[in-house]
């Protein structure tokens, strides 16, 4: 009897199931982009609410030259005043992302 069976190792009875190191095994989180300025307390609330289910980026922390790339990658946009917080060109980049209004902290 193979003593490694049931321990996640390869056996004839149990094929290799991956160790999490390949791209196929990795979990990719959606990207949440917060487009308005958020103080540290608000950031903590957002992190506690979202947990590990999404990667959170704050657009106000991103250099101007990289904002377009961040917005293109966004899966979810968290906005307070979208028309005020984003330029017209930036607004056109977020078509694929879901947008949610700001909640009070």
Instruction: Indicate the pTM of the whole model.
Output: 0.65
- Dihedral, CA of residue 65, residue 50, residue 48 and residue 40, to nearest 10: 20
Q: What does the pLDDT profile of the chain (105 residues) look like in tens digits?
A: 434 334 433 233 333 344 445 555 456 889 999 999 999 999 999 999 999 999 999 999 999 999 999 999 888 889 888 888 899 889 888 766 655 554 444
Report how far residue 42's alpha carbon sits from residue 21's, in angstroms, rounded to the nearest whole number.
34
């Amino acid at each position: 009897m193979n003593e490694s069976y049931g321990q996640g190792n390869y056996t004839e009875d149990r094929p290799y199931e991956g160790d999490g190191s390949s791209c196929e095994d990795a979990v990719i989180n959606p990207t949440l982009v917060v487009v308005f300025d958020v103080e540290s307390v608000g950031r903590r609330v957002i992190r506690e609410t979202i947990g590990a289910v999404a990667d959170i980026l704050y657009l106000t922390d991103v250099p101007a030259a990289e904002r377009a790339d961040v917005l293109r990658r966004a899966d979810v946009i968290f906005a307070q005043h979208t028309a005020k917080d984003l330029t017209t060109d930036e607004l056109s980049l977020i078509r694929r992302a879901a947008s949610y209004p700001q909640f009070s902290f």
